[in-house]
């Protein structure tokens, strides 16, 4: 036992030393950049207040040593692919924009006293917009100055890093190789249940309550309109191969591909709705059905591809058909569409908003082979992409209580259908409260507030902190056995060999 404790202490010490050395090395490298003192001090103070009041936005990840940059897994992957000055500048500008988007939310979420404090310190009006404008100014100033250093881009590449959602130390302490055996068996059994659901006919799935249908308010324009969209013309892509999206273009794409949702409603917790604050707690308003959307990027057959993400939320996971260890307040699903270079759907995938029960719906005609690595659980592919899609909308059949997607089909909207609102996901990251202030529904660690489960006590050995809790975008671990993330840009390319 003493040996085990000594090894544990040594592992913790080594991790701390490594992190300290890494931070010291980057601090030494950036000290030669001769940054404007006031601009550097502004970001130090803003970071201090953000940390002090716990309002950090975890949707993107800071780039150590460069306080005006943030990144994600896709842009981390790009650092090994960019070539030439134009691509490097575009890559860095995109990460600067990510930081500004997060800073805007963080400043809005700061208490008035903190806004007043930084405004007084740096001589500006004491309101959020003035502080954000100063953030933009100092961000550009630091970036321009850092570009004067010949090693700037090299040092940014060294610093760009996104940690994964798995705690190796937890797995080591929890005897992961042994604990993973029963979890592997349980995972295989759940895969069988999902496949049985998805291979059932539309009238064969059980109904506990009443089937209710929800969809976006606008009509579906059809795949031809998407294919003809100049957004996907190669001439309109930036130097990284990414489409530049205006808000109107984004909203048009989101409306076009928004799913129909058929929900088995047996209790109030089966009504997904708008997320609000009520008496200091998160409240899902069932009287206002809502779906929250955001975009992301991935690689598809080695090329950048645009993704549309649709997340919706329930007040709780409950009901007699739900595994007891998974029951608890707040629940949700995310449905994602990956678009090929011509704007046509190339992949569908779905997860619970805790990262659980992840599965992929690929187009059968485009998949040559599913890659199954020795010693790993094969990807869950319960069905193929419907042939009628995208000419007709995707329909998701969701069960009561457990809120699992049991069937993915495509068809015309039913005659009796309620409309849901399409709301930008970033609204959740700076949500208005009754007192006029704003607060994110997620913690600075990327965990949804007021979300609770007992699963961390049961699955501690799997190494996912707060496993089973609802999570913010960018923080979804989707495997208990092995390591995988919903935001991994190589997720599809590592699982499939495509037809020529």
Residues in the chain: 500
Domain shared by 199 and 149, yes or no: no
Domain shared by 209 and 143, yes or no: no
Report the alpha-carbon distance of residue 61 to residue 226 in Å, rounded: 32
Domain shared by 430 and 468, yes or no: yes
Tokens coding 421? 């609102």
Domain shared by 123 and 257, yes or no: no
Q: Pick the closest to residue 49 from 142, 150, 121 (CA basis).
A: 121
Domain shared by 230 and 311, yes or no: yes
DSSP calls for 345-401: EEEEEEEETTS-S-EEE--GGGEEEE---TTSPPP---SPPPTTTTTSEEEEEE-TT
pLDDT at 220: 56
Q: Which residues contact 253 (CB under 8 A, 6 or more apart)?
A: 226, 229, 231, 245, 308
Domain shared by 60 and 99, yes or no: yes
Report the alpha-carbon distance of residue 37 to residue 6 in Å, rounded: 44
Domain shared by 234 and 378, yes or no: yes
Domain closes at, from 159, 187, 221: 159
pLDDT at 343: 87
Q: Which residues contact 500 (CB under 8 A, 6 or more apart)?
A: 368
Report the alpha-carbon distance of residue 352 to residue 476 in Å, rounded: 9
Domain shared by 248 and 358, yes or no: yes
Domain closes at, from 141, 159, 177: 159
Report the alpha-carbon distance of residue 246 to residue 339 in Å, rounded: 17
Report the alpha-carbon distance of residue 11 to residue 17 in Å, rounded: 10
Total-model pTM: 0.92
Domain closes at, from 159, 193, 219: 159
Answer yes or no: are the C-beta atoms of 444 and 414 closer than 8 Å.
no
- CA–chain centroid gap for 225, Å, is 28
Domain shared by 148 and 172, yes or no: no
Domain shared by 317 and 381, yes or no: yes
Total of domains in the chain: 2
Q: Which domain holds residue 17?
A: 2-159
Tokens coding 147? 């570009």
DSSP calls for 282-296: EEEETTS-EEEEEEE
Tens digits of pLDDT across the chain (500 residues): 444 344 444 444 444 444 555 555 655 456 556 899 999 999 999 999 999 999 999 999 999 999 999 999 999 999 999 999 999 999 999 999 999 999 999 999 999 999 999 999 999 999 999 999 999 999 999 999 999 999 999 999 999 999 999 999 999 999 889 999 999 999 999 999 999 999 998 789 999 999 999 999 875 555 444 544 567 778 788 999 998 878 888 899 999 999 999 999 999 999 999 999 999 999 999 999 999 999 999 999 999 999 999 999 999 999 999 999 999 999 999 999 999 988 899 999 999 999 999 999 999 999 999 998 887 788 999 999 999 999 999 999 999 999 999 999 999 988 889 999 999 999 999 999 999 899 999 999 999 999 999 999 999 999 999 999 999 999 999 999 999 999 999 999 999 999 98
pLDDT at 375: 75
Cis upstream peptide for 439 (omega within 30°): no
Angle between helices 37-52 and 112-122 (to 10 degrees): 170
pLDDT at 105: 98
Q: How far is CA 372 from CA 212, 494, 496, in A?
A: 38, 9, 9
Angle between helices 37-52 and 85-109 (to 10 degrees): 50
pLDDT at 10: 44
Domain shared by 250 and 108, yes or no: no
pLDDT at 377: 85
């Amino acid at each position: 036992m003493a040996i085990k404790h000594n090894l544990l202490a040594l592992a913790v010490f080594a991790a701390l030393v490594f992190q300290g050395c890494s931070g010291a090395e980057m601090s030494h490298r950036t000290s030669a950049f001769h940054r404007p003192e006031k601009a550097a001090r502004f970001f130090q103070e803003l970071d201090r207040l953000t940390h002090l009041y716990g309002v950090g936005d975890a949707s993107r990840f800071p780039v150590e040593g460069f306080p005006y940059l943030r990144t994600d897994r896709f842009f981390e992957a790009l650092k090994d692919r960019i070539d030439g000055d134009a691509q490097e500048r575009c890559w860095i500008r995109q990460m600067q924009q990510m930081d500004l988007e997060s800073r805007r939310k963080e400043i809005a979420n700061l208490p008035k006293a903190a806004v007043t404090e930084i405004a007084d310190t740096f001589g500006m009006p004491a309101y959020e917009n003035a502080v954000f404008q100063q953030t933009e100014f100092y961000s550009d100033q630091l970036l321009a100055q850092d570009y004067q250093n010949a090693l700037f881009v090299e040092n940014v590449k060294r610093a760009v890093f996104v940690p994964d959602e798995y705690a190796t130390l937890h797995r080591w302490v929890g005897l992961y190789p042994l604990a993973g055996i029963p979890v592997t068996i349980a995972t295989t059994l759940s895969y069988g249940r999902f496949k049985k659901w998805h291979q059932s006919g539309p009238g064969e799935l059980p109904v506990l309550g009443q089937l209710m249908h929800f969809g976006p308010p606008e009509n579906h324009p059809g795949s031809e309109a998407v294919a003809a969209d100049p957004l996907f013309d190669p001439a309109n892509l930036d130097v990284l191969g990414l489409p530049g999206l205006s808000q109107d273009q984004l909203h048009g794409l989101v409306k076009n591909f928004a799913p129909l949702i058929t929900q088995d409603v047996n209790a109030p917790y089966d009504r997904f709705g708008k997320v609000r604050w009520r008496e200091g707690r998160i409240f899902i308003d069932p009287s206002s059905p809502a779906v929250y959307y955001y975009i992301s990027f991935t690689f598809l057959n080695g090329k950048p591809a645009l993704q549309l993400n649709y997340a919706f939320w329930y007040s709780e996971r409950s009901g007699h058909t739900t595994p007891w260890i998974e029951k608890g307040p707040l629940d949700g699903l995310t449905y994602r569409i990956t678009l090929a270079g011509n704007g046509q759907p190339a992949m569908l995938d779905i997860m619970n908003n805790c990262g659980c029960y992840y599965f992929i719906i690929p187009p059968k005609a485009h998949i040559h082979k599913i890659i199954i690595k020795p010693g790993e659980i094969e990807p869950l592919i319960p069905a193929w992409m419907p042939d009628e899609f995208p000419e007709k909308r995707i329909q998701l059949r969701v069960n009561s209580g457990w809120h699992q997607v049991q069937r993915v089909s495509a068809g015309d909207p039913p005659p009796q259908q309620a409309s849901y609102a399409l709301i930008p996901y970033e609204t959740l990251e700076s949500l208005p409260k009754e007192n006029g202030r704003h607060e994110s529904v997620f913690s600075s660690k990327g965990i949804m507030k007021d979300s609770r489960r007992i699963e961390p006590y049961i699955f501690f050995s799997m190494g996912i902190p707060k496993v089973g809790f609802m999570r913010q975008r960018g923080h979804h671990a989707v495997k208990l056995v092995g390591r995988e993330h919903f935001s991994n840009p190589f997720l599809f390319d590592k699982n499939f060999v495509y037809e020529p």
